[in-house]
Structure 1
């Protein structure tokens, strides 16, 4: 997905200093992993309500075991095709029986009933839909997950990071307490999606919901120039790639998908040095099976995916950055019972 720098999409307000989470002293610096637990589809084709499967879910237990054996909980953000597939639900029930991992929610609007809207790029961002349509889709999905797993989900992510002005208020009214839809320092407005260029890595309160942005940092010799230089480079063809290859400026998100491990390790150092208290990692569930995403095309890519995690977890352990579950994040944030959402 490309960054266009256009103000056309929804732009969440930059949080006030008073809204930033003041983590307890003994919380330290922690890391969390959220998995977009979703159907498989052709990433090169237009979005469709048909032609997808959930077979990659069968590969999750082996991948999960690699984390669980090191005491790392994962929050699986489940979308509608997964939540309504009995075989996928059985697999995920077994996984979260570890006691710390959890089931959350991910809304893919184009495969989530009710279907009032056309399937278009703009409508794939659920926050672009009329509020009553976004709410209806969220209700159907929340009910499906609650019925499938026996508990109401408390963590949420919008598919394609597609939140809108009503999303956080809708989540709060339905008992959600953690959102991870904002991808710090990314801008999807060129595709009709939201603009997170003004959102940093710090967790903050949005009423009774804690917003935990996906961690993204700038690295390189010119990283002090950060977002301003990065957006300026975006106006010059290929300039960002030239600067990245020269070691001058790169934007690094904490994901094994298309982010080299050396860059991720440098990003961990930068994030920790900048005082980020919760490093938020993410990947798509189909990436644990070869051939389901462009990031893991074959067995060699899958082996590299696991090596990436081995190296990154080793670096986190070396730095004393411990894992944290979504429930532990909610508890440590000490959210107010209610507050207005701007």
Structure 2
């Protein structure tokens, strides 16, 4: 077992999650449900606004019309705002949504660390402080919604060496903090560049299912993607040149920064590779123009919703159905416990 079930390093092949073949191909939608802030400015603890949460129910209805059961990952300012809870609680009560935790350490008590770039990745904090922040957020969500969350994401994908063990101990059973093929080490964060999008069991007792956000390589050299992509970073505009020439392009499955045509290509490539689970994600402030770099005006918002229309239509045509976190965990544990016929687990 590699590194005690940690999720900040590539996992061992033995920890790969296998799913019952009869569930087919599935996708999940995660929403980083968070306060508004200036993405280009230094992080602040003071006066976080959560006005864009009012736009979530409208967006939710559009997704629910396709049968999607989004997983809203709330950070502390949203979880502590009664108005935000008022917008989200009916979605949970209706059974059309699930609630999880997202930890932004700079706005999540206790505030015992200095505000630095490195400390914006919660996994870099001392173990006891990371644990205290996880507990504070978990308790706040439990109080707000009357049930304990079991899905977690570290803000900025900032998982660390102690995170899997702490999450497992706190009762979390699904983590989506890894972002396949991305490297945040230049900012002091984790390096997922060697990690693919296949789910794995994590934690000391392997009670935590780790589902990375889906990213794949496209282009004529995609079979050599991880190695070439790292090397291209050392050349000025090297990655852009690879993409423009059709040789190699990293394709994350998100409406934020990934054009619809590229997202559709990513889906087709992932399915060709036998990936049974697709993970899609976006930030809730993108639902109102002017709060993220991805949706700056009304035209961007129209493209955002057109992206969803196109992606969800393609998924339906390819027979990829939505699945909830609850149903995914039940299927994974059923396969693990009973040895049912399994779908392909992908490359070892």
Give the TM-score normalised by structure 1: 0.94
Q: 131-140 vs 49-58, which deviates more?
A: 49-58
Quote the Cα distance in structure 2 between the aligned partners of 1:84 and 1:35.
17
* Residue 217 (structure 2) aligns with: 218
Q: 205-214 vs 243-252, which deviates more?
A: 243-252
Quote the Cα distance in structure 2 between the aligned partners of 1:218 and 1:161.
20
* Residue 122 (structure 2) aligns with: 126
* Residue 269 (structure 2) aligns with: 270
Quote the Cα distance in structure 1 between the aligned partners of 2:44 and 2:287.
22
* Residue 256 (structure 2) aligns with: 257
Quote the Cα distance in structure 2 between the aligned partners of 1:170 and 1:191.
23
- TM superposition shift of 1:100: 4.0
* Residue 29 (structure 1) aligns with: 25
Unpaired stretches in structure 2, ≥5 consecutive residues: 1-5, 338-348
> Would you say 1:87 and 2:86 are equivalent positions?
no
Q: 140-149 vs 100-109, which deviates more?
A: 100-109
Match of 2:72 among 69, 76, 82: 76
* Residue 345 (structure 2) aligns with: none
- TM superposition shift of 1:246: 1.6
* Residue 175 (structure 1) aligns with: 171
* Residue 98 (structure 1) aligns with: 94
For residues 112-151 of structure 1, what are the structure 2 equivalents within 5 Å? 112-151=108-147
Match of 2:155 among 156, 159, 164: 159
> Would you say 1:65 and 2:64 are equivalent positions?
no
- TM superposition shift of 1:275: 1.1
Q: Deviations over 1:155-192 (max 9, x none)?
A: 00000000101001000001100000000111101000
Look up the SS of the partner of 1:104 in the other structure. strand
For residues 294-309 of structure 1, what are the structure 2 equivalents within 5 Å? 294-309=293-308
Aligned residues: 328
- TM superposition shift of 1:11: 7.9
For residues 5-24 of structure 1, what are the structure 2 equivalents within 5 Å? 12-24=8-20
* Residue 55 (structure 1) aligns with: 51
Q: Confirm or deny: 8 A CA contact 1:183 1:196 kept in the other structure.
A: yes
Give the TM-score normalised by structure 2: 0.92
RMSD, matched Cα: 1.3
Q: Confirm or deny: 8 A CA contact 1:11 1:195 kept in the other structure.
A: no
- TM superposition shift of 1:247: 1.5
Look up the SS of the partner of 1:334 in the other structure. helix
Look up the SS of the partner of 1:221 in the other structure. coil
* Residue 281 (structure 1) aligns with: 280
- TM superposition shift of 1:82: 0.2
Q: Deviations over 1:264-298 (max 9, x none)?
A: 00000000111111100000000011111111011
> Would you say 1:332 and 2:331 are equivalent positions?
yes
Look up the SS of the partner of 1:61 in the other structure. helix
For residues 180-259 of structure 1, what are the structure 2 equivalents within 5 Å? 180-206=176-202, 207-259=206-258
* Residue 40 (structure 2) aligns with: 44
* Residue 346 (structure 2) aligns with: none
Q: Deviations over 1:124-147 (max 9, x none)?
A: 100000000000011100000000
Look up the SS of the partner of 2:28 in the other structure. strand
Quote the Cα distance in structure 1 between the aligned partners of 2:290 and 2:251.
24
Q: Which runs of 4+ in 1 moved over 6 A?
A: none
Q: Confirm or deny: 8 A CA contact 1:100 1:325 kept in the other structure.
A: no
Q: Confirm or deny: 8 A CA contact 2:123 2:162 kept in the other structure.
A: yes
Look up the SS of the partner of 2:178 in the other structure. coil
Unpaired stretches in structure 1, ≥5 consecutive residues: 1-9, 338-342
Q: Deviations over 1:316-335 (max 9, x none)?
A: 00100000111111111118
Q: Confirm or deny: 8 A CA contact 2:251 2:266 kept in the other structure.
A: yes
Q: Confirm or deny: 8 A CA contact 1:11 1:194 kept in the other structure.
A: no
